Amino acid sequence: MRIERLKGFAYGGDYNPEQWGPEYWVEDMKLMKKAGVNLISLGIFSWAKLQKDEQTFDFSWLDTVMDLLAEYGIAADLATATAAVPAWAYGRYPDLFPVDKQGNRLWYGSRQTYCPNSPSYHRLTAALVRMIGERYKDHPALAMWHVNNEYSCHVSVCYCDTCAAEFRTWLKQRYGTIDGVNASWGTSFWSQWYYSWEEVMPPRQTTTQHNPGQVLDYQRFMSDSLLNCYLIEKHILREITPDVPITTNFMLEWKPLDYVKWAKEIDVITWDSYPNPAVGVHPARNALDHDLMRGLAGDKPFMLLEQSPSQVNWRKVNTVKYPGLNRLYSMQTIARGGEGVMYFQWRQSRRGAEKFHAACITHTGDEHSRVFKEVVSIGKELKELAELSTSKIEARVGIIYDYENWWAVEYAPGPSGEVSYRAIVLDYYTACYDAHIPVDIIFQESDLSAYDVVIAPLCYMVRPSLAQQVERYVSNGGTFVTSFFSGIADEEDAVFENGYPGPLRTVLGIQVEEFNPLEDHMYNVIANREQAGESTVSLWTEYVRLEGAQAYAEYTQDYLAGEPAVTRNTFGEGAAWYVSARPEAGYMRELLLHICTEAKVKPLITAPLGVEVTIRTGSAASWMFILNFTREPVTVDLGEYSGTDLRDRRTVRGKLEVAGTDLRIIKLD
Ligand code: GAL
């Protein structure tokens, strides 16, 4: 389902008119028109201003704002306002309070203070959503429903008694019997055996390490509990307005929710991007999340629902987006297949916790700020790009991203507490990004045969279907790449019998006998056997035995000297690669280039580091984006491509200069 009425890209932001008197609202509309705004997220934190007590609602101000939006031809991504519960509710319904691991109640006075399993929260939100749904279902400004806001942003886990009881119900559904839980969690260990359901608890504060099975299941349960909150709202809205798309906004680098499961329930995938604008942050970090959202969306649209037009207020030091950077990040969304660019927020607050967070209209209160001028010019540029809005990204390389793997890798005590799932995924992603090879982010259940190369970094937990698919995929000619600490555990987080890499052993043609994680000050060196190339490796090394695979690179130091470090196994028509350590970025780039070249996947063009290159393909034309995230001019080589530069309608081919913090969009011949 799309936002039909937007011809071209969505552009706008969070609008919080309740923070301002009505005398500002018409001025806001005029400035929105000036900036090319066509979509506004409205009422996200408005619950207290819409409902005074359980019986009394007041929608008068929201009616006025919705009418104004309709009058000015601006669409509303209308919120259900359930992201912050009003103070009056807590006195009557104490089950609303979330409880932390230590048993402390979290008080209201901020936002998102609710227990995901609170029956009162479910009942109160359902009533509010029904009121809003019925009231605005036919309003001409309504374009999309915005359910809640950034689920789990502040309270991703609650440990209260209600959650404990719900957890038991969830476990009953998953395992049937208490002995099923015992078997899965391995409670013979440390005398943790449970004889009755009442003994089972959330992983509350305890003496030392928790049972990892319990922790993993609690994370699954919490993600499901929050999803249930979303679904309660979604079902009401769907019943009232079957044709209005529904979204809830995802977050950057977000671990607590299994977004793969969530995405199936969302019509337009939206997310909030807040990269640190301090110079030196690799743009691949943000690009990865765009590609993740595109992957989660599948055939549905995805868009950026929030970004700051300049600085945020929640880092220790909040640097601005220097001139041009907002445009570059906005266009990165478009370059990676997004269908809209939105901000937090429209007008900068004068009071409250976010008063120093940037906004489109800054504290100057007028249209003359640098930030507003940039917002206006990006709006204009997006309008001119309307014909691109339904074009797509095509990739021959897929990187598998898996939330349960993320949890399992980081929650199990040992072998190294320094292993970050996201960082290792980013290593592989960045290698492709820097080599200008387009990537799709895919999932364990995706169809691998759609790709020439499939990379599964830190594929610690392997579900049976994935193991079978990988064997089939490689034997049919695919190239599979995985990293250290892969093929370790099954879905219950039990280590595979007969060691590592478990069900990937045959296809990889290796056995891993021992992990040797490295402390910060430690390193080893690996060197390719035949081709030039070596790298220091950090974080992790392994003792790998070859069982049919060949060593592509070997360790050169310490007791591992001469042992395989990177291996390649020919399996059927394809090849399976294993990287047993964490090499440097330059080595990773060369390695991935080598693997891709062997699989006949080429970089799009030749361009220096710090330059992002993508192609959006439509039914009648394709467009190349070249984004220069460095602050210096760069020269790229378009190779076989030529086309029309959208900026000046000139024909371009061969070498092309792109100024620092600038971009080119080329309609390809
Ligand atoms: C987001 C949130 C917004 C605003 C913004 C500030 O996480 O959805 O409401 O707080 O951060 O950066």
312 Cβ below 6 A of ligand 1: yes
pLDDT on residue 519:
97
359-392 in b/e form (b: 16+ CB < 10 A) is bbbbeeeebebebbebbbebbebbeebeebbebe
Q: What is the pLDDT of residue 46?
A: 98
Q: What is the CA radius of gyration of the chain?
A: 26
Whether residue 438 is predicted with pLDDT greater than 90 in this model: the reply is: yes
233 noted as active-site residue: no
* Catalytic choice (233, 306, 374, 471): 306
Confirm or reject: Cβ of 164 under 6 Å from ligand 1: no
The dihedral over CA atoms of 635, 431, 251, 492, expressed in degrees to the nearest 10, equals 170
Rounded Cα distance, 286 and 300, in Å: 20
pLDDT mean across residues, the chain: 97
CATH 2.60.40.1180 residue window(s) in the chain: 611-668
Residue extent(s) of CATH 3.20.20.80 domains in the chain: 4-160+213-389
User: Measuring from atom 3 of ligand 1, which residue has the nearest CA?
Assistant: 344
Q: What is the mean pLDDT of residues 221-226?
A: 98
In eight-state DSSP terms, residue 30 is H
Percent of the chain past pLDDT 70, that is, above it, reads: 100
Distance of CA 151 from the midpoint of ligand 1 (Å): 12
The answer to whether residue 3 scores a pLDDT higher than 80 is: no
CA dihedral of 483, 485, 488, 492, whole degrees rounded to 10: -100
The predicted structure's pLDDT at residue 1: 76
**Class of 611-668 per CATH?**
mainly beta
Query: Could you give the residue range(s) of every CATH 3.40.50.880 domain in the chain?
Result: 397-598
Q: In the predicted model, is pLDDT for residue 72 greater than 90? A: yes
Q: What percent of the chain has pLDDT over 90?
A: 98
The alpha helices in 6-160, defined as continuous H runs, are 25-34, 47-50, 60-71, 87-92, 119-136
What values do phi and psi take at 173, rounded to 5?
A: -65, -35
Q: Which of 251, 289, 306, 356 to mutate to test the pocket of ligand 1 (most atoms within 8 A of CB)?
A: 306
398 Cβ partners below 8 Å, 6+ apart?
439, 440, 441, 442, 446, 448, 450, 451, 453, 454, 455
Residue 609, pLDDT score: 97
Q: How far apart are CA 539 and CA 517, in angstroms?
A: 6
Residue range 121-136: mean pLDDT, rounded:
98
pLDDT band at 100 (very low <50, low <70, confident <90, very high): very high
Cβ-Cβ contacts under 8 Å for 635 (sequence gap 6 or more): 608, 655, 656, 657, 658
Task: Output the CA 253–ligand 1 centroid distance in Å.
Answer: 14
Q: How far apart are CA 85 and CA 113, in angstroms?
A: 7
Phi and psi at residue 210, to the nearest 5°? -80, 170
Token match 């809205």: residue? 237
pLDDT for res 163: 98
Q: By CB neighbour count within 10 A (0-12 exposed, 13-18 middle, 19+ buried), where does 350 fall?
A: exposed
- Any idea of the CA torsion for 181, 185, 191, 196, to the nearest 10 degrees? -10
pLDDT for 471-493, tens place per residue? 999 999 999 999 999 999 999 99
What are the pLDDT digits (tens) for 608-665? 999 999 999 999 999 999 999 999 999 999 999 999 999 999 999 999 999 999 999 9
- Residue 599: CA atoms inside 13 Å, Cβ hemisphere, count? 31
* Stretch 316-341: mean pLDDT: 97
Regarding the beta carbon of 79 and ligand 1, being less than 6 Å apart is answered no
- Tokens 């006195």 appear where? 91
Name the band, by pLDDT with cuts 50, 70 and 90, for residue 6.
confident
The token pair at 335 is: 């370059």
- Residue 162 CB less than 6 A away from ligand 1: no
Q: Between helices 161-175 and 178-185, what is the axis angle to 10°?
A: 90
For 427-487, the three-class secondary structure string (H helix, E strand, C coil) is HHHHHHHHCCCCEEEECCCCCHHHCCEEEECCCCECCHHHHHHHHHHHHCCCEEEEECCCC
If you average pLDDT over residues 405-415, what whole number do you get?
Answer: 94
Give SS3 for 554: strand
Ligand 1: atom nearest CA of 313 is 12
CA of 473 to the centre of ligand 1 (A): 42
Neighbour tally for 316: CB within 10 Å? 4
Write the class of the CATH domain 4-160+213-389.
alpha beta
Q: Dump pLDDT digits (tens) for 514-535.
A: 999 999 999 999 999 998 999 9
Ligand 1 lined by 272 (C-beta under 6 Å)? yes
Structure tokens at 629: 């995230």
Single pTM value for the model: 0.98
Domain 397-598 matching CATH 3.40.50.720: the answer reads no
Q: 75-79 and 39-42: which strand pairing?
A: parallel
Report CA-CA distances (Å) from 88 to 60, 84, 91, 118, 162: 20, 12, 6, 16, 21
Residues 6+ apart with CB under 8 A from 242: none
SS (H, E, C) 119-164: HHHHHHHHHHHHHHHHHHCCCCCEEEEECCCCCCCCCCCCCCHHHH
Going by pLDDT thresholds of 50, 70 and 90, the confidence category of residue 267 is very high
Helix axes 178-185 and 212-240, enclosed angle (nearest 10):
120
Distance of CA 552 to the CA centre of its chain: 33
Q: Is the per-residue pLDDT at 279 higher than 80?
A: no
Residue 153 CA: nearest ligand 1 atom is: 7
- Ligand 1, atom nearest to 312 Cα: 12
- Distance separating alpha carbons of residues 454 and 341, to the nearest angstrom: 30
pLDDT grade for 4, boundaries at 50, 70 and 90:
confident
When pLDDT is averaged across residues 125-150 and rounded to a whole number, the result is 98
For a pocket test of ligand 1, which of 271, 349, 354, 356 has the largest count of ligand atoms closer than 8 A to its C-beta?
354
